[in-house]
Amino acid sequence: MSASYLELRGIRKMFGDSTVLNDVDLSIHEGELVTLLGPSGCGKSTLLRCIAGLTEPDGGSIMMGPTNIGELPPRRREVGMVFQSYALFPNLTVYENIEYGLKMRGADKKERQSRCEELLALVDLENKKEAYPQQLSGGQQQRVALARSLAVQPKVLLLDEPLSALDAKIRKSLRTEIRDIQKRLKMTTIFVTHDQEEALTVSDRICIMNNGNIVQDGSPEELYAKPRTEFVARFMGSYNVLSREEAGRLFGVAGGSAASYALRPESVRLLPASAGEARGDRRVADGTIESISVLGNIVRYSVVSSGVKLTVDALNDGQSHRGDEGATVVLELDPSQLLALEKEGA
């Protein structure tokens, strides 16, 4: 990958007294799909709108290559954007919607036609080109919105929670489709979402945002395996977050000096009460199952051990039933899976 393609430096935005973006730095490589992930109100959409030029930041610079696009009006920034509500033009057909940007840029008719046909094929809507947006399903509208923003060959594509208005099934297939198209076109893309599963499946890199800061960024694997703070641990999965004292009780003496620790629910093994010896350097602890919920391919147990409530995930393989609610079990804990967390904001 080449040097950074889009470079954000010290982006700051206040709405009234509240800081929405707190000196955010972000650099994105060409062809990369970066996800801004965070709870609502963390500033991720505002950051996206700053890049598009729809919101003016109070400070900072946005460089695309050698150009400071922060000084340009939205239409000169060469960024495409897909909105959460799609914002298709209701008075125009699918074809005319896709053609709109090309028309505004003064492309001739022949060029417009070939480009539109190409995009209709890309999003698989050739048979709907004469339809009006309100005659399409949500998923189809979203694909038109995608085709429309790609038509003008933007340098960066911005997707603002593009799938949140769709039902679960379409959301899953469409996110794979978006990822495929992005890879095929090598389109530099920023994807905003609050759904960690979505972020994990589509991204090259994820930036987790909280309170107007990027608190951690890295590849999906990295973020999932090594959350740095409690916020990231809680947001990325159903991590057990233990205080130092709790970790001490479960694992004997806790090493290190961190204030809190994270423990992945799938790293704990549940054994029937009769099982005795721990393997290798692992520890065993007694516990009681409080509740069981089946989440499809995994079963999630809530277990209390030494006064600490733990979430334990086990593969739902149909043969290893670990006991009913109220049953006593043995927990096998691996100290090497215990992750020390940094203090928030550190």
Name 221's Cβ contacts closer than 8 Å, sequence gap at least 6: none
Q: Which is nearer to another protein, 48 or 200 (CB)?
A: 48
Could you give the string, one character per residue 283-302, with x where binding to another protein holds by CB under 8 A and - elsewhere? --------------------
Are the CB atoms for 67 and 48 separated by under 8 Å?
no
Please identify which residue in 10, 58, 65, 104 interacts with another protein, judged by CB under 8 A: 104
Q: Which is nearer to another protein, 52 or 94 (CB)?
A: 52
Q: What is the dihedral of CA 46, 48, 52, 54, to 10 degrees?
A: -20
Q: Which is nearer to another protein, 90 or 307 (CB)?
A: 90
Cα 176 to chain centroid distance, Å, stands at 13
Could you give the string, one character per residue 240-269, with x where binding to another protein holds by CB under 8 A and - elsewhere? ------------------------------
Q: List the interface residues with another protein, window 109-148 (CB under 8 A).
A: 132, 134, 148
> How far are the Cα atoms of 108, 175, 272, 341 from residue 229, in angstroms, in the given order?
53, 28, 33, 5
Please identify which residue in 18, 71, 75, 225 interacts with another protein, judged by CB under 8 A: 75
Min CB(237)–another protein separation in Å: 34
User: Is 319 strand, coil or helix?
Assistant: coil
Please identify which residue in 48, 81, 136, 289 interacts with another protein, judged by CB under 8 A: 81
Please identify which residue in 57, 70, 101, 287 interacts with another protein, judged by CB under 8 A: 101
Q: Which is nearer to another protein, 54 or 327 (CB)?
A: 54
Are the CB atoms for 286 and 331 separated by under 8 Å?
yes
Q: What is the DSSP string of 73-108?
A: -GGGS-EEEE-TT----TTS-HHHHHHHHHHHTT--
Read off the tokens for 188: 């530099």
Name 270's Cβ contacts closer than 8 Å, sequence gap at least 6: 301, 303, 312, 314, 322, 323, 329, 330, 331, 332
- Specify which residues 305 forms β-bridges with: 308
Q: Residue 37 and residue 163: Cα distance in Å, rounded?
A: 14
- Which span sits near another protein by CB under 8 A: 72-80, 192-200, 265-273, 320-328? 72-80
Total number of residues that touch another protein (CB under 8 A): 26
Binding status of residue 90 toward another protein by CB under 8 A: yes
Please identify which residue in 14, 19, 100, 340 interacts with another protein, judged by CB under 8 A: 100
> How far are the Cα atoms of 216, 299, 306 from residue 293, in angstroms, in the given order?
31, 6, 22
Could you give the string, one character per residue 147-186, with x where binding to another protein holds by CB under 8 A and - elsewhere? -xx--x----------------------------------
Question: Site residues (CB under 8 A) for another protein?
Answer: 52-54, 73-75, 77, 79-81, 83, 85, 87-91, 100-101, 104-105, 132, 134, 148-149, 152
